[in-house]
Amino acid sequence: MPSPLARFPTTRWTLLQKLRDGTKEDAHAALETLCRDYWAPLYAVGRHDGMGEHDAQDAVQGFFVTLLRRETFSQAEAAQGRLRSLLLKSFKNYCCNEWRKDQRQKRGEGVEHVPLHDVTSAEERLGKDLHGAGLSMEKLYAREWARAVLSRSLANLRQQYLERGQEERFNLLQGPLMEEDDAVSLDQLASSAGMAPGALRVALHRMRGQYRTHVERELACTLDTDDPAEIQHEIKELFQAFE
């Protein structure tokens, strides 16, 4: 199989370089991707630090606007470490040094906005983590980042099945994809789908392998490397976020 970066050459560090050095069009496209991938973890940090929903949205939007204006990461390079760690540090600095100053302006007056994605779903996910689990800010950030990676990987997997005309099979296997195998439940699922139990288990095993490949590709893009050891270490950290 070709390396993940061979199929996904636009790494997260490449996007950051486009924000810094690219054309206006390149910068906007890069920002859209970075915002899609990282807004929810950064939003969680704002909420963890006591911001209300609207303030946390404003802080994340303001931070991404500074990226678009190339006011951040002027010298940032991949050698400095994980991009998600650098984003977290920079967002915290922004909230301490810039966000309060920005709030002196009326909301929306002369301020460029970056559209965030489903804030309602983010709030639903964060409800328990913010109020019941007692997670540290770093743990909450890591958990939201991991959820985003898994969500994008699942979306890519779904698209792969759709392109093969196997939407029905994807819908059938999506439920048990990451669950522990239960022989009775799998037999019942196979029976309801008119499949032999053995055939369903083989299809599920293949789907899990394909899903893991998509996760590895996402992590390779984030790390800007196709080193198997680094990717496996990142997978370990990804799942530790849910412990």
C-alpha closest to that of 145 among 217, 235, 20, 28: 235
Q: What is the pLDDT of residue 115?
A: 61
Q: How far apart are CA 232 and CA 32, in angstroms?
A: 28
CA atoms within 13 Å, Cβ hemisphere of 149? 27
Contact 72, 94 (CB under 8 A): yes
How far, in whole angstroms, is CA 76 from its chain's centroid?
21
Contact 44, 35 (CB under 8 A): no
Q: What is the pLDDT of residue 165?
A: 96
- Give pLDDT < 70 ranges for the chain: 1-12, 70-81, 99-119, 127-128, 130-133
Q: What is the pLDDT of residue 104?
A: 54
pLDDT of 123-144, one tens digit each?
777 766 766 567 788 888 888 8
pTM reported for the whole predicted model:
0.77
Q: How far apart are CA 207 and CA 48, in angstroms?
A: 36
Contact 130, 47 (CB under 8 A): yes
Q: What is the pLDDT of residue 208?
A: 95
